[in-house]
Structure formats: C-alpha cells, structure tokens
Amino acid sequence: MPVASGGFPLVGHRPAVAVQRLAFFERVRSEGPVLRLRMGRTPTFLVNDHLMAREILGDGGDTFARGQFFSKVRPLVGNGLGSSDGAFHLRQRRMVQPAFSHEHPGYDVDALLGGIKAQVDSWRPGAVVDMAREMDALANALINTALFSSDKVTGDADTIRDTIADFIAGVGVRSVVPSDLVDKLPTPANRRFIRARDRLEEALASIINRYQTDPQDHGQG
C-alpha cells in the first residue's frame, strides 16, 4: 500500500494532519484510493475513495471501529452518535432517528433552507471565499436553528456559535498529538480550547435545563 507523501523524519505526517489537515488531504488525494499515513506505531490509513468512505462511515462500528483517535477525543466530546461504536451506536441511532423522518422531521425545514439561502446570497460574483470557513459558519447556523430554536436560549446559542470553532480545532489537534503532555502546556491555543470547552459546557447545561423546565414542546425530541 502506498505511503502518502509529505512526511517528516520521526514525526511523520502528524504535523500536516494537525495543522494543515484539509490542505494535506487535498494534496494527496490523487496519490491513491487508500494511503498509509505515518502517525507513530499505530497503523493509520487515509481513504480517498468516496464509495469506500461511505461504506466505512455507514458501518456504525460493526466492522470498522472508530479507533485510537476517537478514544483520545471521546472524553472531550462524549460517547455520542458521532464517536460511539457497535451496539451502543445502533441504540443511539435508533433513539434519534424519529427526529429525522421525512414525514415528521423534528426541525423546521423552511428555517434551515432560509439559513442556507442567506449564506449563499451573501456571496458576490467574482469574490473569493474561504469555503472551509463558510461551511463552518453555515453548519453552526443550521445547528443553532435546528436545535436551539427557542427565544429563551438565544444567548446560550450565541455562545455556542462563537466558541465551537476553537473547540473543534482543539479537539482536532488532540486527536493526533502523540502525548497528553502537549495538552497541558500553557500555549495560547490550549488556553483558547479550555476557554471554549468551559463556555460550551456552561451553555449546553443551561439550554438543557431550560428545555427540561419548559412545558412547551419545541419539536427537538
């Protein structure tokens, strides 16, 4: 199996995956449908074939487990639908599936379409946009619309929108760094991550509490 180009002595592909993940994946996409990455002693593979990627992502952990990287970030993001495996993943999937039925979706489809249209309409002919940043902004907006529609949680939803990018970036770095000691260094990036993590936890706890004490059915199940 071919090894992806761009590795460094000793550290291999870790710096590229941690700091320039999207650019690195785009650059090596044409090097083969499956590439081996040098990420330490653990065998690591990059899947570039979309059909194979769909099969792996849709497996639910029965054949393709989440692996070491997810075990590192699971304490940060929880053992939810996106990070669990096997029978527990299937159980969670069945729990949330009714909220995504075509007949009775548990979210406002028109509001989501309106958010997408607003984002697209903000682009001007000839302008250059950072699509990764635009997609992050759109995803955050749609999540807020779908999950936090109540006016009572507007402030907390704004907190989530403003801090989620720093949290996701920190989780991404922690999924590839070789030692937990790096997480404890008082670097600006670590301080941003810890601040974002704490603010997210507070905002989500506040939202859950408000929904649980509100008798109105908001349709988020």
- Give the whole-number percent of the chain exceeding pLDDT 70: 87
Q: Is residue 213 part of a domain?
A: no
Same domain for 27 and 51: yes
Q: Is residue 94 part of a domain?
A: yes
- What is the residue range of 88's domain? 65-105
The mean pLDDT of the chain is: 81
Same domain for 50 and 73: no
Q: Is residue 215 part of a domain?
A: no
pLDDT at position 37: 92
Number of folded domains that form the chain: 2
Same domain for 39 and 21: yes
Same domain for 78 and 50: no
Q: Is residue 7 part of a domain?
A: yes
Tell me the pLDDT band of 221, cut-offs 50, 70 and 90: very low
The pLDDT tens digits for 56-86 are 877 766 777 777 777 777 877 888 877 788 7
Q: Is residue 209 part of a domain?
A: no
Q: How far apart are CA 68 and CA 65, in angstroms?
A: 9
Q: Is residue 101 part of a domain?
A: yes
Q: Is residue 1 part of a domain?
A: yes
Same domain for 52 and 34: yes
Is the pLDDT at 205 greater than 80, yes or no? yes
All residues at 6 or more sequence positions from 70 whose CB lies less than 8 Å from its CB, including other chains: 83, 175
Amino acid at 191: R
Mean pLDDT of the region 200-211: 84
Q: Is residue 47 part of a domain?
A: yes
Tell me the pLDDT band of 47, cut-offs 50, 70 and 90: very high
* pTM beyond 0.75: no
- Provide the 8-state DSSP code for 99: G
Taking Cα atoms as reference points, which of 38, 33, 34, 3 lies closest to residue 17? 38
pLDDT at position 187: 84
Tell me the pLDDT band of 27, cut-offs 50, 70 and 90: very high
> Which residue among 33, 57, 81 closes a domain?
57
